[in-house]
Chains A and B, each alone.
Chain A
Amino acid sequence: MASAPPPSVARLYRPNRFVSLPAELDPDTYDTSPEKRRAEAERLAIRSQLKRQYLLQLNNPSPPAVIEDPALIRWAYAKSQNVYPTFRPTPKTSFLGAAYALGPLLFWIAVLKAHRDYKEKRIQEGKYKRPFSVFF
C-alpha cells in the first residue's frame, strides 16, 4: 500500500505573514514569460531615467548643497501632512481610535483602583503591615 508522495518543500515551508519565501521556493523566480520581461524592461527604463537625473546633479561642477530626493520628500509629506486631509471617520476608524485612545486609560484606572481598594480593605481589617521606607 502506497502513501501519498511526500509534500513539496514549498508547501512544507508555508508562506506566512512575517517573512518572505526563499527565492528557490518562490514560483515567481522561475517565471520567464515575456510579460514579466517587458515589465522588468519598463522598470529598468524608469530607473535609468531617474539615475541620469541623479548623476547629472551629482557630477555638476557646481553641485547644489543638498541633492533632494523627491521620493523622500513625498514619503515624509504623506506620513505627516497628508494624513489629516485623507482621514475619514468610518466605523472601523472610530472603533480603533476609541480602543487605542481610551482603552489603556480605562484599563489602568480600573486596575489601580481595584488594587487600592483591596489594600484599603486589608488595612481596615488589620492584615496589612505598612512598609517603613525613608525613600517615598
Chain B
Amino acid sequence: SEMSMDMMPGPYPRTPEERAAAAKKYNMRVEDYQPYPDDGFGYGDYPMLPNKSQYERDPWYQWDQPDMRHNWGEPMHWHFDMYIRNRADTSPTVVPWHTMSKHFFIFLGTMLAMFGLGAIYPSYMPVGPKQYPFNDLYLEKGGDPNKKPPPVIHYEI
C-alpha cells in the first residue's frame, strides 16, 4: 500500500509534541488521544478507546461500513474483533449486573450444595435381596442338571 512508515503505529509517545503528532496520525483530537500506559506490554502509541462494543453505536446513522458500524479512517479499538456485533456486547443490561450475578451464584451454589449433599448422604426406600424362582435359577446359572439342586425357600409360615 502507499502508506509511509510515519503513518504506522510506533513506540510510546514521551513528549507532548510526539503526543500531538500521534493524535494527528490516528485522526483524533489531541485531548481525546490517550495511549495505553507504558507497561511494556507491546501497545506502543495505540490509543486507548472506551471499551464499548459495536452494538452500542447508533444503528440508524449512515456509517461508511454499516455491518461493522465503523467509519473510514476512524481509529479502531484494540479489541475491535471482540467487539463486533457477532461477539461481545457491552450494551446496558435491563437488570443491574450485581443483581444478576447475585441471583446466578446463589442459584448455582444452592444446586451444587444440594447435589453434593445428595451424593454424600444418599437416601432411598429400604430394599431386600431379589428373590429368583427355580431354586435361585440353579439351571440357568450353570448348575449340574443331574444333581439335585439345593432347596431355596423365600417364605416363612
Contact = CB atoms under 8 A, between A and B. Distances in A.
Interface string A54-85: 10000000000001111111110111001111
A53 B12 CA distance: 28
B97 A78 contact: no
Contacts of B73: 50, 53-54, 69-71
A46 interface: yes
Contact of B42 (A16, A21, A73, A82): A82
Nearest to A74: B9
Interface SS of chain A: helix
Interface residues of B, number: 40
Interface size class of A (residues with CB under 8 A): 35 or more
B96 interface: yes
Binding site secondary structure of chain B:
loop
B27 A71 contact: yes
27 contacts: A13-B96, A14-B96, A14-B97, A16-B97, A19-B91, A19-B92, A21-B92, A43-B32, A47-B74, A50-B71, A54-B64, A54-B72, A71-B26, A71-B74, A71-B75, A71-B76, A72-B76, A74-B8, A74-B26, A75-B76, A75-B80, A78-B78, A83-B44, A87-B41, A90-B39, A92-B39, A93-B39
Interface of B: 1, 3, 7-12, 25-29, 31-32, 39-44, 46, 52, 56, 64, 71-76, 78, 80, 90-93, 96-98
Interface of A: 12-14, 16, 18-23, 39, 42-43, 46-47, 50-51, 53-54, 67-75, 77-79, 82-90, 92-93
